[in-house]
Copies of this chain bind each other. A is one copy, B any other.
Amino acid sequence: MMTPQALERGTKWLAQADLRPTRQRLSLATLLVGDGHNRHVTAEGLHASSHIAGDSVSLATVYNTLRAFCDAGLMREVTVDGSRSYFDTRVDDHPHFFMEDDGALTDAPAAELEIKSLPEVPEGYEVAKVDVVIRLRRKTS
């Protein structure tokens, strides 16, 4: 599961943000970007993954680390559910699918989403971020 390549990806990811490669950060980084794909996690979910992977990291550290990754620009917090925070390894504006049934968050293929123009922003303000969340429900048919 934790191949040398995955480890290298995690290491580079941390180095890129000048974050000290501690055992915990390396473990979490590898879980997050080890396979080269984007990932959407909750703190609880990542904590569980770290346990399953055999590297246990305390929940508080998972929270602190996710915050550190966000502060460093490696991740972004995504607000889709009032009761949990989600964190995304992809840091540009892009639409999400949120499955309300099981709480899964995934990237929506952006190609087909087209925002022609944004509403005019009030005087004195600038756009920090545009979030598009497409909430899905299992079809009842």
Contacts and interface: CB of A to CB of B under 8 A. Distances in A.
A76 to B, nearest CB: 11
A120 to B, nearest CB: 6
A95 interface: yes
A1 interface: no
Interface stretch (A22-30, A49-57, A61-69, A123-131): A123-131
A108 B100 CA distance: 25
| Interface SS majority for chain A | strand
Given A125-B99, A130-B134, A115 B113 contact: yes
A8 interface: no
A135 B124 contact: no
Q: How many copies does the complex hold?
A: 2
A136 B109 contact: no
Given A131-B131, A131-B132, A135-B129, A120 B124 contact: no
A114 B113 contact: no
Interface in A83-113: 84-85, 95, 97, 99-100, 108-113
Contacts of A135: 127-131
Interface of A: 77, 79-82, 84-85, 95, 97, 99-100, 108-122, 124-139
